[in-house]
């Protein structure tokens, strides 16, 4: 049979697409010949808006850059301001920041587990994990007042101290999640069908991974051990014990297993943080936010978000407002150029599967 | 302190030795900042990538220096072996910003350059695919340039819901609480937008 | 006309209606069971009725050509006709019993007919998702028809009959059910049944994350309502067929409902905890163990 | 389809129709903005919107409700209009989040629309940035009330004032290459 090349538009309205973007596929039969990503459906011009707002007014904006996990953005902007300004952060604030970052990582992984299994038709898993994610969101709500957007990490520390008895609540949730992880294992990670679907799909070439700009779990899924938390320890990550898991293969399966191991590590980090939480100040006072001039200078900081290296480049010209704040999300590379590359030769059935495993997050691509 | 920055100093020496005109500094641990002549960026990044092992392109950013009539391109590359990041900066003429593409070094540069072309109007020679990336059917000056007034554009283009009569400026409240005057710039901002 | 004819005509009316009601209610119960497994409360059992009524009450229904009209109509014709030839209850004057020699073979064709009609209808919509969905559905059908036919052939050889009524007559008494008399044929057939019901892991045809909703992508409003009606009737028809062939049929409605419901739970519960196969993996699955079991069943009978 | 019932039976039919429409709201799976992050919690085990008959629909042809989850960029607006026009009547639109009401925190952005109801008719607004799942569900219940009263007439409004809506839409979508709204 002579196979004809047809064009398929996946998205922007498509249940399999993570968020609002489009993948244009040229296919013969079931095999993808060429993939082209189209983004920009979520462009809100954040970087432009930030240039018109004072430094502190930027915080409600940055947390909306990546909707599933806003905290690395706040962390990045705080750190970039602190680095330009040379501001110190109290020890307790650093611990609280790590707590918030790790909780947000757990929440994101739970959402990812749901997305990954939903994209291959296992609809029980998202029901479980997204429901369990709400326990973490409840913690956030008590801590910061917001479910999704927190605006909690500020330059100089965090906005509020931990409420009374918060540590015990966190530990309770961690115990629960650890218990649930066994169920997740049974349903997803030890499922023979998941292995069959995921093994050998969406392979990233190990030798090319670094050059292609792969970061985070996909990079560790190629067997390359890199994690910003270890490469360039920020906050108090150098004082905590955790391992960075790696898997060989570079396929969806390896990425999933890396994330699953990191889930356990994050739980352990949260426990260590609660255990070692020092007393003292949680906040270094900043000047009147309306009249706060950050000295001229520029800095690039990065954070390990749940999907990989999240970098911020900020320039201050000494005025009340930032000259430029540029966010570099992992999805910018993963969701566009890398996705186009590894979709070549894949099956149509795996597009959404691969997109999920790369952690594609459109709002972060176009900001 | 000096001992700690050994790797950074080595890189600094190598760069200085190869590119005499480059201004190199070490802002902090794991960072090396390089200011370059425009035409040197291509060989410089080639040198970093092929000789010094800076394989990972973290970021390409752009800053519009309206007052100085220049557009600054910032390349951030990282070496996974010694974990140092080099921040390379070049400045282009704002009227006619042009620079050869870097597509052959890193494939993902394509999207960065497409975005910068779209948002700042920087022309990347030899790129070949400088089509719409984020915006669609955009007319007029590139939106991220500082002389583009987004408020004016938004007011002219979109419908706005009329505000409430009793709307109060939140700045007045904050100022009252902290006991300070509203700075001039913030005042301008508030007056212009609240009318 | 004598009273038996009237009863028969009444049967022709009541059977599809019962099938529809039972099929839709099963759908509602399945949604509740799924919800409970998934840690939530779930919709009311009547939910599927409201869905279908709402779809029928849609004011507009866009179509892209004549075949799109015919697709759902083919489907519903095929399901109702299949139902007419499956004895719903044993020896009942009211419930249809149109069994004749060779009706198993007739049903094998009839059950495919609806899908083909759907395929034609979906093909005309011009939606690439529909086209892929149809291709997948037909490929999957090729997959599960093989063990299914093998199982039926084994049974037909074993009991030297091609009539469902005669098969039902063979299985009086619990121990005489075909599930015990020819277990290999049953295994092959039940695995094929998993594919037939389009629950995970064999739901490639309607996979939302991959191809929107497959063949039905362009069907909205009344077309979708017709398809759902047809689907409910067809589900019931298939369940009754399997009950008749393997579980000894049913003498009264309660037994029938218990048996069909238990049978229905097999694909449903499998579906809740499994992701879906890719198309080629699904076909490979069917051509491996189910086919082997089917062949074993035939060999046992022949040798 | 207009069938000439007598008054009483038409009333009964209408009541059944409204009841069914009210209790079966299929939401189009289209995450148009950042509000899409609160849709999974709404739909899944904790808040379980399926209790009210709310579930997802994969394609616009099958959907009843278009949930505009937050701001719309100009590029998305074009797709949303197309999607809305593909949906089958009766159809409803829920504006989700402050940014659909007055632009919210994107009031000065050059790429997002500020007033959703100038471009497509909106039946119910849910405010907040972002609205919690409880708010989303309460918005849906509000929509159910509107449907039960027979006041959810957005689609008819759109048909009658098509020229006005078109003019607004074409004001910001420069390259208008979409098929006509003819159903």
A251: DSSP letter: S
Q: What is the pTM of this model?
A: 0.89
Strand A157-158 relative to strand A297-305: parallel, antiparallel, unpaired?
Answer: unpaired
The three-point CA angle A361-D42-D40 to 5° equals 25
- The percentage of residues in chain B with a pLDDT greater than 90, rounded to a whole number, is 0
Q: Provide the CATH topology of domain A50-366.
A: Cytochrome-c3 Hydrogenase; chain B (1.10.645)
Torsions phi, psi of A167, nearest 5? -55, -45
The predicted model gives D118-128 an average pLDDT of 87
Whole-number average pLDDT of chain C: 82
Query: Is residue B37 one of the residues assigned to a domain?
Result: yes
Report if residue D162 sits inside a domain: yes
In angstroms, rounded to a whole number, what is the distance separating the alpha carbons of residues B120 and D76?
22
DSSP A335: I
Tens-digit pLDDT profile for residues A34-69: 888 888 888 888 888 888 888 888 888 888 888 888
How does pLDDT run across A247-295, given as a tens digit for each residue? 888 888 898 999 999 999 999 999 999 888 888 887 877 777 777 888 8
Are B158 and D113 within 8 A, CB to CB?
yes
- What subunits touch chain B, counting only 3 or more CB pairs under 8 A? A, D
A30 Cβ under 8 Å from any chain C Cβ? yes
Q: Is pLDDT of C76 > 80?
A: yes
> pLDDT-derived band of residue B138, with 50, 70 and 90 as boundaries?
confident
Q: Which of A67, A47, A149, A60 is nearest to A362 (CA)?
A: A67
CB-CB neighbours of A146 under 10 Å: 17
Asked whether residue B195 carries a pLDDT value surpassing 50, the answer given is: no
Q: Count how many pairs of residues, chain A against chain D, have C-beta atoms within 8 Å.
A: 89
Residue D116's pLDDT is: 86
How many domains does the structure of chain C reveal? 1
> What six digits make up the tokens of B168?
């109060």
Nearest CA in chain D to C223: D62
Q: How far is CA D70 from CA A219, D36, D56, D82, in A?
A: 33, 8, 18, 18
CB contact under 8 A, A44 and D73: yes
Residues of chain D with Cβ-Cβ distance to A128 below 8 Å are: 45
pLDDT at B113 over 80: yes
Give the mean model confidence (pLDDT) for residues C176-181: 75
Residues of C in contact with A23 (CB under 8 A): none
At D58-84, the pLDDT tens digits run: 888 888 888 888 888 888 888 888 888
Looking at chain B, which residue has its C-alpha nearest residue D73? B135
Q: How many domains does chain D have?
A: 1
DSSP A294: P
From the CA of A165, how many Å to the nearest CA of chain B? 31
- By C-alpha distance, the chain D residue nearest B142 is D110
The answer on pLDDT for D3 being more than 60 is no
3-state secondary structure A138-195: HHHHHHHCCCCCCCCEECCEECCCCCCCHHHHHHHHHHHHHHHHHHHHHHHHCCHHHH
Q: Which residues on adjacent β-strands are paired with residue D92?
A: D65
Query: Smallest CA–CA separation between C216 and chain D, in Å?
Result: 9
Interface residue A41 vs chain D (CB under 8 A): yes
Q: Are B32 and B85 in contact (CB under 8 A)?
A: yes
Verify whether the Cβ–Cβ distance D110 to B148 is below 8 Å: yes
Interchain CB distance below 8 Å, A352 and C210: yes
> What average pLDDT score do residues A21-30 get?
83
Which among A288, A313, A341 has the least Cβ separation from residue B180? A288
For D114, phi then psi, to 5°, come to -105, -30
Residue B145 buriedness (CB in 10 A; 0-12 / 13-18 / 19+): middle
Joined together, the tokens standing for residue C63 give 């179509």
Stretch A105-120: mean pLDDT? 88
For residue A298, CA distances in Å to A80, A295, C135 come to: 8, 9, 56
Q: Do A124 and C38 touch (CB under 8 A)?
A: yes
Yes or no: say if D98 and B158 are a contact pair by the CB < 8 Å rule.
no
B76/A300 touch (CB, cutoff 8 Å), yes or no: yes
- Residue B187: pLDDT band with limits 50, 70, 90: low
Q: Position of tokens 């990670």?
A: A189
The two structure tokens encoding residue D54: 């709310």
At C16-43, the pLDDT tens digits run 888 888 888 998 899 899 888 888 888 8
Using an 8 Å CB-CB cutoff, list chain D residues near B158: 103, 112-115, 172
* Greater model confidence, C123 or C25: C25
Nearest CA to B87 among B101, B77, B72?
A: B77
Question: Exposure pattern of A172-202 as b/e (b: 16+ CB <10 Å)?
Answer: ebbeebeebbeebeebbbebebbebbbeebb
Domain span holding position C63: 3-302
Task: Note the pLDDT tens digit of each residue in B51-107.
Answer: 888 888 888 888 888 888 888 888 888 888 888 888 888 888 888 888 888 888 888
Burial of B138 (0-12, 13-18, 19+ CB in 10 A): middle
Are A194 and C209 in contact (CB < 8 Å)?
no
pLDDT for position D78: 85
A39 touching B, CB under 8 A? yes
Which residue among A13, A111, A127 places its CB closest to the CB of D45? A127
- CB–CB contact A126 D44 (8 Å): yes
pLDDT winner (highest mean) among A172-176, C8-12, C155-159, D166-170: A172-176
Q: What is the pLDDT of residue B191?
A: 43
Q: Do the domain assignments include residue B54? A: yes
* pLDDT tier, A1 (very low <50, low <70, confident <90, very high otherwise): very low
A-interface mutation test, from D27, D46, D50, D70, most A Cβ less than 10 A away: D46
Measure CB to CB from residue C213 to each of D20, D59, D64 and give the nearest one.
D59
Q: Could you report the predicted ipTM of this complex, rounded to two decimals?
A: 0.85
User: Where residue D107 sits, what CATH number does that domain have?
Assistant: 3.40.50.12280
pLDDT at C1: 60
Whether D110 and chain A come into contact, CB under 8 Å, resolves to yes
Task: For residue B165, tell me if it sits in a domain.
Answer: no
Query: b/e map of A337-355 (b: 16 or more CB within 10 Å)?
Result: bbbbebbeebbbbbbbbbb
Residue ranges of chain B whose CB lies within 8 Å of a chain A CB: 27-28, 30-31, 55-59, 61-64, 74, 76, 80, 83, 85, 87, 106-108, 110-111, 132-136, 143-144, 146, 148, 150-151, 171, 174-175, 178, 180, 182-183, 185-186, 189
| Among D109, D112, D114, beta carbon nearest to B160 | D114
Collapsing DSSP states into helix, strand and coil, what is residue A15? coil
B190 band by pLDDT with thresholds 50, 70 and 90: very low
Among partner residues A14, A347, A350, which is closest to C212 by beta-carbon distance?
A: A14
B110 with A328: Cβ contact below 8 A:
no
The one-character DSSP state at A186 is I
Half-sphere exposure of B143 (CA within 13 A, CB side): 24
pLDDT tier for residue B192 given thresholds of 50, 70 and 90: very low
Q: How far apart are CA B48 and CA C15, in angstroms?
A: 79
Identify which of A44, A130, A363 has the shortest CB distance to residue D41.
A130
pLDDT at B193 over 50: no
Please report which confidence band the pLDDT of residue A29 belongs to, taking 50, 70 and 90 as the band edges.
confident
Residue C261 near residue C26, CB atoms below 8 Å:
yes
Place of tokens 């063949």: C215
Domain range for residue B67?
6-139
In a domain? residue D15 = no
Query: Of C140, C135, C139, C118, which is closest to residue C216 (Cα–Cα)?
Result: C118
Domain coverage including residue D54 = 25-172
pLDDT in tens, A113-140: 888 888 888 888 888 999 899 999 998 8
Judged by CB atoms closer than 8 Å, whether chains meet at A148 and D76 is answered as: no
Mean pLDDT, rounded, for B31-37: 84
Which DSSP letter does residue A333 get?
A: I
C262 phi/psi in degrees, rounded to 5: -60, -40
Mean pLDDT, residues A204-227: 85
**Buried b or exposed e, range D125-164, using 16+ CB within 10 angstroms:** bbbbbbbbbebbbebbeebbebbeeeebebbebbeeeeee
d(CA A217, CA D8): 65
**CB-closest option in A39, A300, A320 to B186:** A320
pLDDT digits (tens, 9 = 90+) for A328-363: 888 888 888 888 888 888 888 888 888 888 888 888
Edge-to-edge strand order for the sheet containing D92-96? D54-57, D25-28, D65-69, D92-96, D124-126
Task: Assess contact for C83 and C19: CB atoms under 8 A.
Answer: yes
């Amino acid at each position: 049979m002579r196979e004809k090349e047809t064009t398929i538009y996946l998205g922007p309205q498509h249940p399999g697409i993570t968020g609002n973007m489009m993948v244009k596929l040229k296919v013969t039969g079931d095999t993808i010949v060429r993939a082209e990503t189209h983004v920009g459906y979520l462009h809100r011009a954040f970087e432009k808006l930030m240039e018109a707002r004072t430094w502190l007014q930027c915080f409600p904006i940055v947390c909306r850059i990546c909707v599933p996990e806003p905290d690395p953005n706040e962390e990045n902007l705080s750190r970039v301001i602190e680095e330009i300004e040379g501001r110190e952060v109290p020890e307790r604030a650093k611990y609280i920041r790590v707590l918030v970052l790790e909780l947000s990582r757990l929440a994101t992984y739970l959402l990812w587990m749901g997305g990954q299994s939903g994209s291959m038709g296992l609809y029980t898993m998202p029901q479980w994990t997204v429901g369990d994610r709400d326990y973490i969101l409840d913690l956030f709500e008590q801590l910061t007042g917001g479910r999704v957007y927190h605006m909690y990490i500020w330059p100089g520390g965090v906005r509020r101290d931990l409420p009374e008895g918060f540590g015990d609540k966190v530990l309770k949730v961690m115990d629960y999640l650890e218990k649930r992880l066994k169920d997740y294992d049974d349903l997803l990670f030890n499922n023979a069908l998941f292995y069959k679907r995921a093994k050998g799909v969406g392979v990233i070439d190990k030798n090319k991974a670094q050059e292609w700009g792969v970061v985070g779990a996909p990079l560790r899924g190629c067997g390359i051990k890199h994690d910003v938390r270890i490469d360039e320890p920020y906050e108090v990550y150098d004082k905590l014990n955790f391992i960075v898991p790696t898997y060989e293969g570079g396929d969806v399966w390896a990425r999933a297993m890396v994330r699953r191991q990191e889930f356990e590590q994050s739980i352990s980090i949260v426990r260590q943080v609660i255990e070692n939480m020092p007393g003292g100040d949680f906040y270094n006072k900043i000047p009147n936010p309306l009249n706060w001039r950050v000295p001229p200078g520029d800095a690039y900081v990065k954070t390990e978000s749940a999907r990989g290296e999240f970098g911020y480049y900020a320039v201050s010209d000494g005025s009340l407002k930032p000259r430029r704040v540029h966010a570099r999300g992992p999805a910018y590379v993963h969701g566009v150029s890398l996705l186009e590359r590894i979709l070549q030769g894949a099956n149509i059935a795996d597009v959404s599967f691969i997109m999920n495993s790369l952690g594609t997050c459109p709002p972060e691509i176009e900001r | 302190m000096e001992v700690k920055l050994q790797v950074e100093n080595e890189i600094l020496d190598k760069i200085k030795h190869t590119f005499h005109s480059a201004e190199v500094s070490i802002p902090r641990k794991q960072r090396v900042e390089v200011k370059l002549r425009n035409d040197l960026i291509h060989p410089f990044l080639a040198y970093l990538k092929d000789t010094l092992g800076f394989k990972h392109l973290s970021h390409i950013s752009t800053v519009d220096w309206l007052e100085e009539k220049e557009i600054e391109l910032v390349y951030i590359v990282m070496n996974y072996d010694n974990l140092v990041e080099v921040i390379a900066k070049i400045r282009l003429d704002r009227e006619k910003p042009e620079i050869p593409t870097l597509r052959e070094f890193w494939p993902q540069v394509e999207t960065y350059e497409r975005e910068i072309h779209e948002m700042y109007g920087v022309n990347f020679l030899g790129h070949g695919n400088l089509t719409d990336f984020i915006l669609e059917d955009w007319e007029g000056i590139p939106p991220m340039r500082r002389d583009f007034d987004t408020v004016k554009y938004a007011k002219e283009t979109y419908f706005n819901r009329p505000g409430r009569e009793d709307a109060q400026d939140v700045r007045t409240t904050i100022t009252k609480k902290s006991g300070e005057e509203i700075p001039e710039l913030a005042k301008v901002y508030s007056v212009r937008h609240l009318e | 006309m004598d009273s038996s004819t009237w009863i028969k005509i009444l049967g022709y009316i009541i059977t599809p209606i019962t099938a529809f009601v039972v099929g839709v209610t099963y759908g509602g119960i399945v949604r509740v069971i799924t919800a409970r497994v998934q840690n939530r409360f779930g919709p009311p059992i009547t939910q599927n009725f409201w869905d279908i009524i709402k779809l029928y009450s849609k004011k507009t229904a866009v179509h892209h050509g004549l075949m799109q009209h015919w697709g759902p109509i083919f489907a519903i014709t095929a399901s109702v006709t299949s139902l007419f030839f499956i004895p719903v209850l044993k020896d009942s004057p009211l419930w249809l019993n149109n069994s004749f020699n060779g009706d198993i073979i007739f049903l094998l064709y009839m059950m495919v007919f609806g899908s083909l009609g759907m395929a034609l209808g979906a093909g005309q919509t011009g939606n690439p998702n529909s086209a892929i969905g149809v291709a997948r559905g037909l490929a999957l059908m090729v997959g599960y028809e093989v063990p299914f036919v093998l199982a039926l052939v084994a049974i037909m050889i074993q009991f030297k009959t091609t009539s469902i009524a005669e098969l039902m007559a063979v299985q009086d008494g619990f121990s005489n059910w075909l599930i015990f008399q020819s277990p290999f044929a049953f295994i092959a057939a039940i695995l094929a049944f998993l594919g037939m019901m389009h629950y995970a892991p064999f739901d490639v045809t309607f996979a939302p994350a991959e191809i929107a909703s497959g063949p039905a992508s362009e069907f909205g409003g009344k077309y979708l309502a017709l398809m759902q009606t047809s689907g409910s009737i067809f589900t019931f028809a298939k369940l009754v067929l399997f009950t008749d062939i393997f579980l000894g049929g049913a003498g009264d409605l309660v037994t029938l409902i218990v048996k069909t419901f238990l049978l229905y739970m097999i694909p449903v519960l499998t579906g809740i905890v499994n992701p879906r196969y890719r198309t080629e993996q699904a076909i490979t699955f069917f051509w491996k163990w189910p086919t082997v079991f089917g062949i074993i069943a035939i060999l046992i009978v022949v040798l | 389809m207009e069938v000439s019932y007598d008054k009483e039976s038409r009333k009964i039919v209408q009541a059944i129709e409204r009841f069914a429409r009210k209790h079966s709201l299929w939401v189009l799976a289209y995450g148009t903005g950042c509000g899409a992050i609160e849709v999974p919690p709404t739909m899944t085990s904790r808040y379980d919107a399926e209790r009210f008959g709310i579930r997802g629909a994969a394609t616009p042809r099958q959907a009843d409700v278009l949930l505009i989850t937050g701001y719309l960029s100009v590029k998305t607006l074009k797709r949303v209009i197309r999607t809305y026009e593909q949906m089958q009547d009766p159809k409803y639109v829920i504006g989700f989040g402050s940014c659909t009401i007055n632009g919210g925190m994107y009031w000065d952005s050059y790429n997002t629309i500020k007033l959703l109801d100038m471009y497509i008719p909106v039946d119910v607004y849910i405010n907040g940035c972002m609205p919690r799942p409880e708010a989303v569900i309460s918005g849906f219940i509000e929509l159910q009330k509107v449907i039960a009263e027979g006041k959810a007439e957005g689609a008819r409004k759109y048909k009658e004032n098509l020229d006005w809506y078109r003019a607004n839409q074409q004001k910001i979508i420069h390259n208008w290459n979409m098929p006509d709204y003819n159903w």
